[in-house]
Amino acid sequence: MMTFARVYQMPPRVAAGAFFLSSGLSKTRADRETAQGVHGMAAGTYPFLRKLDPEAFTRLLSKAEIAMGVALLVPAVPSLLAGAALTGFAGGLLGLYLKTPGMREEGSLRPSQQGIPLAKDAWLLGIGLGLVLDELPTRSASCSRRPRDARPACRHLRGRC
């Protein structure tokens, strides 16, 4: 696993990280009405969240978004870790889009006007998956073309080609 993010990974990490940091910081000052709205939408899609107090849920969500933003912005956080966390978080956000009534046009994945703010979170899933896939080991072309007994040991697969 990489210790530092690669330079070409930083633009999508900064874009997503700044978005999460801004979103999390804005929720730190959420009033009761805002907290109830955020909690209501999340609990409508994920019923297990109904047990949580709306204000406590919003504070927890705020902290999670801030942590996600910092993890993406700090190059010392491995891209595999940051990407896996982002993929999971984005999957939850897209779950809201897919499961909340009125977010999509009837019989389609296309967003309704109300669904556009959630549908745009697909880019977060793409960034997260891209970071994860970039860190997974792949077979090099030179290894796969040679007969198995003539293949050199590959560092990235710990000697297995």
CA 128/CA 151 separation, integer angstroms: 33
CA-based nearest residue to 15, from 88, 91, 90: 90
CA 51 to CA 145: how far, in whole Å?
Answer: 56
What is the per-residue pLDDT for 34?
A: 96
Q: Could you give the CA distance from residue 52 to residue 50 in angstroms, rounded to a whole number? A: 5
Question: Tens digit of pLDDT for each residue in 121-148?
Answer: 899 999 999 999 999 886 555 555 555 5
Give residue-wise pLDDT tens across range 93-123.
999 999 888 899 988 989 999 989 888 889 9
Structure-block tokens of residue 43: 């609990």
Task: Report the Cα–Cα distance between both ends of the chain, in Å, rounded.
Answer: 18
